[in-house]
Protein backbone atom coordinates (compact mmCIF):
# COMPACT_ATOMS: atom_id res chain seq x y z
CA UNK A 1 0.00 0.00 0.00
CA UNK A 2 1.15 3.52 -0.77
CA UNK A 3 2.34 5.78 2.00
CA UNK A 4 -0.24 8.42 2.81
CA UNK A 5 0.47 11.60 4.67
CA UNK A 6 -1.93 14.11 6.19
CA UNK A 7 -1.04 17.68 7.11
CA UNK A 8 -3.20 17.81 10.18
CA UNK A 9 -4.40 20.34 12.73
CA UNK A 10 -6.06 18.42 15.58
CA UNK A 11 -8.05 21.53 16.56
CA UNK A 12 -9.78 21.67 13.16
CA UNK A 13 -12.99 19.66 12.73
CA UNK A 14 -12.41 19.20 8.97
CA UNK A 15 -8.92 17.92 9.65
CA UNK A 16 -10.19 15.49 12.31
CA UNK A 17 -12.90 14.30 9.89
CA UNK A 18 -10.32 13.63 7.16
CA UNK A 19 -8.14 11.66 9.57
CA UNK A 20 -11.17 9.66 10.70
CA UNK A 21 -12.08 8.81 7.08
CA UNK A 22 -8.56 7.55 6.46
CA UNK A 23 -8.62 5.42 9.60
CA UNK A 24 -12.11 4.07 8.78
CA UNK A 25 -10.68 2.93 5.44
CA UNK A 26 -7.92 1.00 7.19
CA UNK A 27 -5.26 3.60 6.46
CA UNK A 28 -2.76 4.65 9.09
CA UNK A 29 -1.36 7.84 7.58
CA UNK A 30 1.79 9.64 8.56
CA UNK A 31 0.35 12.53 10.56
CA UNK A 32 2.21 15.81 10.14
CA UNK A 33 1.11 18.47 12.58
CA UNK A 34 2.04 21.18 10.13
CA UNK A 35 1.63 24.00 12.66
CA UNK A 36 4.41 22.42 14.76
CA UNK A 37 6.69 21.20 11.97
CA UNK A 38 8.41 23.95 9.98
CA UNK A 39 8.22 23.64 6.20
CA UNK A 40 10.56 25.10 3.62
CA UNK A 41 9.72 27.17 0.56
CA UNK A 42 10.63 24.14 -1.58
CA UNK A 43 8.21 21.90 0.33
CA UNK A 44 5.40 24.43 -0.16
CA UNK A 45 6.25 24.78 -3.87
CA UNK A 46 6.23 21.00 -4.24
CA UNK A 47 2.90 20.81 -2.43
CA UNK A 48 1.43 23.42 -4.79
CA UNK A 49 2.49 21.23 -7.75
CA UNK A 50 1.01 18.09 -6.19
CA UNK A 51 -2.25 19.96 -5.59
CA UNK A 52 -2.25 21.29 -9.15
CA UNK A 53 -2.71 24.86 -7.95
CA UNK A 54 -1.75 27.79 -10.15
CA UNK A 55 -1.25 30.30 -7.33
CA UNK A 56 0.01 30.04 -3.77
CA UNK A 57 -3.03 32.06 -2.72
CA UNK A 58 -5.23 29.03 -3.55
CA UNK A 59 -3.50 27.22 -0.67
CA UNK A 60 -4.01 30.07 1.77
CA UNK A 61 -6.63 30.60 4.43
CA UNK A 62 -7.56 34.12 3.36
CA UNK A 63 -9.95 34.63 6.26
CA UNK A 64 -7.25 34.18 8.91
CA UNK A 65 -6.48 37.34 10.90
CA UNK A 66 -2.77 37.02 10.07
CA UNK A 67 -3.62 37.19 6.33
CA UNK A 68 -5.20 40.58 6.87
CA UNK A 69 -2.53 41.75 9.33
CA UNK A 70 0.22 41.00 6.80
CA UNK A 71 -1.68 42.77 4.02
CA UNK A 72 -1.47 39.69 1.77
CA UNK A 73 -4.60 40.56 -0.20
CA UNK A 74 -2.59 43.01 -2.31
CA UNK A 75 0.54 40.85 -2.69
CA UNK A 76 1.01 39.49 -6.21
CA UNK A 77 4.53 38.08 -5.79
CA UNK A 78 4.19 34.28 -5.49
CA UNK A 79 7.50 34.02 -3.62
CA UNK A 80 6.24 36.43 -0.96
CA UNK A 81 3.01 34.44 -0.56
CA UNK A 82 5.00 31.22 -0.15
CA UNK A 83 7.36 32.91 2.33
CA UNK A 84 4.32 34.04 4.33
CA UNK A 85 3.11 30.43 4.59
CA UNK A 86 6.58 29.27 5.68
CA UNK A 87 6.69 31.97 8.37
CA UNK A 88 3.03 31.60 9.37
CA UNK A 89 1.85 28.01 8.76
CA UNK A 90 -1.59 28.93 10.10
CA UNK A 91 -2.12 30.44 6.63
CA UNK A 92 -1.98 26.99 5.01
CA UNK A 93 -5.36 25.47 4.16
CA UNK A 94 -6.13 22.20 5.89
CA UNK A 95 -6.29 19.29 5.89
CA UNK A 96 -4.00 18.20 3.08
CA UNK A 97 -3.68 14.53 2.18
CA UNK A 98 -0.77 13.35 0.03
CA UNK A 99 -0.47 10.03 -1.80
CA UNK A 100 1.88 8.98 -4.62
CA UNK A 101 2.91 12.51 -5.55
CA UNK A 102 -0.69 13.76 -5.63
CA UNK A 103 -2.42 15.81 -3.00
CA UNK A 104 -5.87 17.15 -2.14
CA UNK A 105 -7.20 19.69 0.26
CA UNK A 106 -9.72 17.66 2.25
CA UNK A 107 -12.62 20.09 1.89
CA UNK A 108 -14.99 18.42 1.36
CA UNK A 109 -13.81 15.16 2.90
CA UNK A 110 -14.98 13.27 -0.21
CA UNK A 111 -11.83 14.53 -1.95
CA UNK A 112 -9.78 12.48 0.52
CA UNK A 113 -11.79 9.37 -0.26
CA UNK A 114 -11.31 9.88 -4.03
CA UNK A 115 -7.53 10.24 -3.60
CA UNK A 116 -7.06 7.15 -1.45
CA UNK A 117 -9.27 5.00 -3.70
CA UNK A 118 -7.08 5.79 -6.77
Q: What CATH number should be reported for the domain holding residue 27?
A: 3.40.30.10
Count structural domains, the chain: 1
Percent of residues, the chain, with pLDDT higher than 90: 94
- The domain in which residue 52 lies consists of 4-117
| Residues with a known catalytic role | 12
What's residue 24's pLDDT?
Answer: 94
Q: What is the pLDDT of residue 57?
A: 97
Q: pTM higher than 0.85, yes or no?
A: yes
Q: Helix (H, G, I), strand (E, B), or coil: what is residue 5?
A: strand
Residue 118's pLDDT is: 81
Q: What 3-state class would DSSP assign to 104?
A: strand
Query: pLDDT of 2-39, one tens digit each?
Result: 799 999 999 999 999 999 999 999 999 999 999 999 89
Amino acid sequence: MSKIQIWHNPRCSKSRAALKVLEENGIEPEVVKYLDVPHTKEEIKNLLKMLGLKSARELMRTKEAIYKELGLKDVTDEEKLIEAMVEHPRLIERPIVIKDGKAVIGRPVEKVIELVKE
